[in-house]
């Protein structure tokens, strides 16, 4: 009886590992396929309660200030880490254990992974999946492609995805013509895009825009040059 039970459990684990391996290979295949071509949609777009507006634009046709603005606002160590900021995650878990809420601690790579494959909300399960996908993105896509995809799929308003759609919606022009100040205005939307409008910012958010512009100056125009030259 014990031998049959052991054999049964062994078969179950074998099937689980095969399923996990098949899932990993499937995700890797998808990532390889979309390393060079625009993504038709994302999990977040499919879950959107609003009509989706998005227009894909190559990173070469976007102002570098737009990329610098989101990096300055969301993830200043983006050129340095490998997709996951483990120090930030450890701090977030420790604060959660002390009774604080579970904060994001997400890099741009993790946000890209979440938008592509997952769902909103905060849980350890989703954060674990997010981290795994983020590491895969770094290994298969690299920084330039991750930043290009992020700028095209991040939500900037109710059903507005990507900086081109956001620029057209809020400023009535293509993203390539955004000023430095306007890129910072768009970047300030990212934590709560469905409740903010760059044309009608609160005093606090206006101060945040000033902070983002200051961070952009401190990082410097050449901060992302190695990524753009990859």
Write down the pLDDT at residue 104.
55
Which regions in the chain score pLDDT beneath 50?
A: none
How many CA atoms does the CB half-sphere of 175 hold within 13 Å? 29
Write down the pLDDT at residue 181.
97
- Across 133-171, b (16+ Cβ under 10 Å) vs e yields bbbbbbebbebbbbbbbbbbbbbbbebbbbbbbbbbbbb
Cβ contact 58:174 at 8 Å:
no
Q: How many residues does the chain have?
A: 230
For 81-137, how does the pLDDT look when each residue is reduced to its tens digit (9 = 90+)? 999 887 766 766 676 665 555 555 689 999 999 999 988 877 788 888 888 899 999
Strands (E), the chain: 53-54, 155-157, 160-161
Q: Which helix (DSSP H) or strand (DSSP E) does residue 92 occupy?
A: helix 86-97
Tell me the fold of 54-224. Penicillin binding protein transpeptidase fold (1.10.3810)
Write down the pLDDT at residue 147.
97
Write down the pLDDT at residue 9.
66
Write down the pLDDT at residue 105.
66
Write down the pLDDT at residue 48.
95
**Residue 29: partners with Cβ closer than 8 Å, 6 or more residues away:** none
Domain boundaries, the chain: 54-224
């Amino acid at each position: 009886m014990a031998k049959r039970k052991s054999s049964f459990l062994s078969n179950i684990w074998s099937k689980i590992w095969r399923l996990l391996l098949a899932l990993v290979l499937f995700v890797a295949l998808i990532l390889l396929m979309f390393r060079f071509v625009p993504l038709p949609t994302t999990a977040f777009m499919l879950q959107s309660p609003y009509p989706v507006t998005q227009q894909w634009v190559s990173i070469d046709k976007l102002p570098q200030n737009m990329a610098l603005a989101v990096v300055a606002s969301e993830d200043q160590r983006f050129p340095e880490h490998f997709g996951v900021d483990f120090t930030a995650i450890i701090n977030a878990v420790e604060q959660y254990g002390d009774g604080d809420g579970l904060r994001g601690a997400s890099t741009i790579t993790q946000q890209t992974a979440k938008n592509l494959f997952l769902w909103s909300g905060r849980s350890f399960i989703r954060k674990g999946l997010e981290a795994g996908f983020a590491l895969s993105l770094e290994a298969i896509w690299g920084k330039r492609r991750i930043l290009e995809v992020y700028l095209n799929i991040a939500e900037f308003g109710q059903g507005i995805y990507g900086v081109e759609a956001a620029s057209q919606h809020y400023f009535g022009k293509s993203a390539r013509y955004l000023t430095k100040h306007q890129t910072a205005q768009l970047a300030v939307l990212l934590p709560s895009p469905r409740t903010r409008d760059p044309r009608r910012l609160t005093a606090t958010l206006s101060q945040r825009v000033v902070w983002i512009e200051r961070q952009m100056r401190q990082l410097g125009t050449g901060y992302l040059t190695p990524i753009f030259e990859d």
